[in-house]
Amino acid sequence: MRKRIEATLPRAYYEEVVRETLGILWHQKRLIVGILLVALSLASIALVLIGPRYSAEAIIQLNFTREEPTAGTKIQPIASIDAVALVDGALRVIRSRATANAVVARLGLDKDPDFARGSNMWRVFSIVRQGFGLAAVEPSQRDLAVNELMRKITVTSETRSYLISVTTTAGDPEQAARLTNAVALEYLRGQMLQQLADTQAAAERELTQLSSVYGVRHPSYVLARTRLDTLQNRLAALRDGPPDDDAVRLVIGQSFVAAEKTLIPSGPRIILILGLTAGAALGVGIWLALLLARNAAMAFFISQHLRLLRSTLRRYLGPRLKGLGGGGLNSDRWAQSWRTILRIRAPR
């Protein structure tokens, strides 16, 4: 019987605690609901100001083909390279600042105010440095545009299929597709230049060999010379002009799927953001309600001790302390005001 009573007491205590807590939250429901509505309103305004975000994706696949489009002497590799290492190297090249710098120069993004704009934190940092008399380093428009482009670009890979995904997120779907294709084509242009340079070197060696064997008037030499001139013209055009889909499709060992404009927003996730905001607001509202309740209980506790102190002083010092009676009355009124404002019962 005694054990049953001891087991019932903690249960009754916790039930009383839960009942009191729920009562506090119910009395403070206006505060909690107000915080929730304010938080949801601010989150909604922020979502409207941010606007929808659109993503575009381009695919580069490495198939490791060994074929070469030109005839003549071929250079065989002297070492075998792991395919995963090649994919990792391609990822590093696409993510590199050199690739982003070339895209910025080609598209003129350093003249776009959406890209060539420094962050507010950097401006504050520069102002603080100037206030201390230090030299403030001002980044160029090109550097700002390159940083913004690298922030928008995401490059991932699928190891087993050797796929490289280039994704760009922007507020305009057409701009997202244009930036994605520009980054992917710039990488493929570099690969194409490297392959054409290797082919040109092989053609020059072949031309030297034919010249020493047949002479400069032989048809084989004339054909090799024509092929070398064609390669040099392609190299010049690829270095000076912008890369296009037809040129990069000739890259050996890699295939390209261009990004297309998508009108379906990829973010922000409205339901998730509002849900997280509502959860955080409820947590803050409940914490604030319990904090106010604890302060009210503390105020009642202090008022009770002030009342006891007043009674003790009146009993031992007599009517000479006239001001203490009013002080005790004021303390009672003060505690009662706390309980009335917060609608919390005084502890029994």
331 in any annotated domain: yes
Q: Are residues 56 and 181 in the same domain?
A: yes
263 in any annotated domain: no
Q: Are residues 107 and 33 in the same domain?
A: no
Provide mean pLDDT across the span 107-127. 75
Q: Are residues 41 and 93 in the same domain?
A: no
Quickly count: other Cβ atoms within 10 Å of residue 328's Cβ. Answer: 19
Is the separation of the CB atoms in 151 and 160 below 8 Å?
no
pTM for this prediction: 0.65
Convert the pLDDT of each residue in 56-65 to its tens digit.
999 988 876 5
Q: Are residues 134 and 74 in the same domain?
A: yes
Letter string b/e over residues 334-346, b meaning 16 or more CB atoms within 10 A of that residue's CB: ebeebbeebebee
Strand 254-257's sheet: what is its strand order? 153-158, 163-170, 54-62, 254-257
Tokens read off for 224:
């090799």
Given 222, 257, 292, which residue is the final one in a domain? 257
Q: How many CA atoms lie within 13 A of 43 on its CB side?
A: 20
Residue 168 pairs in a beta bridge with 56, 153
In this prediction, residue 276 has a pLDDT band, given cuts at 50, 70 and 90, of very high
207 in any annotated domain: no
* 157: pLDDT strictly greater than 70: yes
1 in any annotated domain: no
Q: Are residues 172 and 75 in the same domain?
A: yes
Convert the pLDDT of each residue in 233-251 to its tens digit.
877 877 776 666 556 666 7
- Report the chain's mean pLDDT, rounded to a whole number: 76
Q: Are residues 281 and 294 in the same domain?
A: yes
2 in any annotated domain: no
Angle at the Cα of 153 from the Cα atoms of 151 and 155, rounded to 5 degrees: 125
Q: Are residues 156 and 84 in the same domain?
A: yes
314 in any annotated domain: yes
In this prediction, residue 326 has a pLDDT band, given cuts at 50, 70 and 90, of very low
* 177: pLDDT strictly greater than 60: yes
In this prediction, residue 300 has a pLDDT band, given cuts at 50, 70 and 90, of low
State what percent of residues in the chain have pLDDT above 70: 68
Provide mean pLDDT across the span 21-46. 88
Q: Are residues 103 and 31 in the same domain?
A: no
In this prediction, residue 139 has a pLDDT band, given cuts at 50, 70 and 90, of confident
How long a stretch of residues is the chain?
A: 348
Whole-angstrom CA distances from 91 to 156, 177, 183 are 7, 19, 12
Q: Are residues 42 and 158 in the same domain?
A: no
Given 257, 289, 311, which residue is the final one in a domain? 257
Is the separation of the CB atoms in 321 and 67 below 8 Å?
no
The structural domain count of the chain equals 2
Helix (H, G, I), strand (E, B) or coil at 64: coil
pLDDT at 81: 58
Convert the pLDDT of each residue in 74-108 to its tens digit.
444 434 456 777 888 889 999 999 999 999 988 88
Given 257, 286, 311, which residue is the final one in a domain? 257
* 325: pLDDT strictly greater than 50: no
Which residue would you say has higher pLDDT here, 324 or 27? Answer: 27
Cβ-count burial of 23 within 10 angstroms (0-12 exposed, 13-18 middle, 19+ buried)? middle
223 in any annotated domain: no
Q: Are residues 56 and 171 in the same domain?
A: yes
**Any idea which of 73-82, 257-266, 302-311 has the lowest mean pLDDT?**
73-82
Q: Are residues 61 and 171 in the same domain?
A: yes
Q: Are residues 94 and 142 in the same domain?
A: yes
Is the Cα dihedral 309, 312, 317, 322 positive or negative? positive
328 in any annotated domain: yes
Which of the given ranges, 10-24, 131-145, 147-161, has the highest pLDDT on average? 147-161
- Boundaries of domain holding 133: 52-191+252-257
